Amino acid sequence: MIKVDENYPAQELAPAFPYRQVQLKQEVDPRQSFDILPELGRGTFGTVFLCRDKTSGLELAAKIVPCKKKKERTDALREIDIMSCLHHPRLIQLYDAFDYENKVYVILELVQGGELFERVIDDDFVLTEKACAVFMKQICEGMEYIHSRSIIHLDMKVGRNSVGYIVF
């Protein structure tokens, strides 16, 4: 997650929730614990919805991956395994995970600032050299952490980086 202000690194935001050890819940309906709310977006592998933890009221994102083929389930479960061991402020955090009725539900930290690419190409956004350096530094911090865990991100592109906080 990219967090930007001109005073970086002086101002860091607290995480939305403490880091969690997530165990995949098999054949448990995620709707017992979460309200699934409006759709936020669609991707190649699934659809992302706003969701709310019924106990805490915390707003999160629910990525729902239909698993019609064994490879789809294997890929989704691998993503959960990887995300469950990555705890870093520059990475979206895993909150919970379910395998239920031929779908994998990946419950994630909600990032509401939009995609970095959309922000940068917006005519109303003034991209200073300093802000650009901050963006790049924070992306590199997240990637350095991933690589330090011997993990390679195979789908890195500008549109995949979410902006969690911008102040200018």
155 classed as catalytic: yes
Between β-strands 25-26 and 2-5, what pairing exists: parallel, antiparallel or unpaired?
unpaired
Token pair for residue 80? 């959960």
Active-site entry in 75, 81, 123, 155: 155
Looking at the DSSP assignment, which residues form a beta bridge with residue 78?
A: none
- Residue 121's CB: how many other CB atoms inside 10 A? 11
79 Cα distance to chain centroid? 12
Q: Distance between CA 138 and CA 90 in Å, rounded?
A: 7
The answer to whether residues 88 and 67 touch, using CB atoms and an 8 Å cutoff, is no
* Residue type present at position 126: V
* Residue type present at position 71: K
Query: Strand, helix or coil at 83?
Result: helix
Q: Is 3 annotated as a binding residue?
A: no
For 22-42, give one letter per residue: b (16+ CB within 10 A) or e: bebbeeeebeebbeeeeebee
Binding residue numbers for ATP? 68
Binding residue numbers? 68
Active site residues: 155
